[in-house]
């Protein structure tokens, strides 16, 4: 299963060209460098879905909160399974 996780763009490095554009994205206090090659419209303060270190979609804050809640619920359910 593949998951995309929402995070908030904290800083952008424009790089030498659009393919090298990166951002520091905050995932609830953990910050990671993410490629913005597919999101030229992304700006500081935007929420983005990130998969394998690549920003794949811009989303609004409400959708980001919903995705995080859904992921939390899925993890809670997984923890209730038999081992």
pLDDT, tens digit, for every residue of 28-80? 999 999 999 999 999 999 999 999 999 999 999 999 999 989 888 888 877 77
What is the distance between the alpha carbons of residues 38 and 1, in angstroms, rounded to a whole number?
Answer: 22
End-to-end alpha carbon distance in the chain: 19
Helix and strand counts by DSSP (H, E) for the chain = 1, 5
pLDDT at 1: 62
pLDDT at 39: 96
**Model pTM?**
0.84
SS3 43: coil
């Amino acid at each position: 299963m593949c998951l995309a996780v929402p995070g908030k763009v904290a800083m952008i490095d424009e790089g030498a060209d659009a393919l090298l554009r990166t951002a520091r994205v905050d995932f609830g206090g953990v910050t990671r460098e993410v490629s913005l090659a597919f999101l030229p419209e992304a700006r500081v303060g935007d929420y983005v879905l990130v998969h394998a270190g690549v920003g794949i979609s811009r989303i609004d804050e409400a959708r980001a909160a919903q995705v995080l809640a859904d992921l939390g619920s899925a993890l809670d359910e997984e923890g209730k399974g038999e081992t």
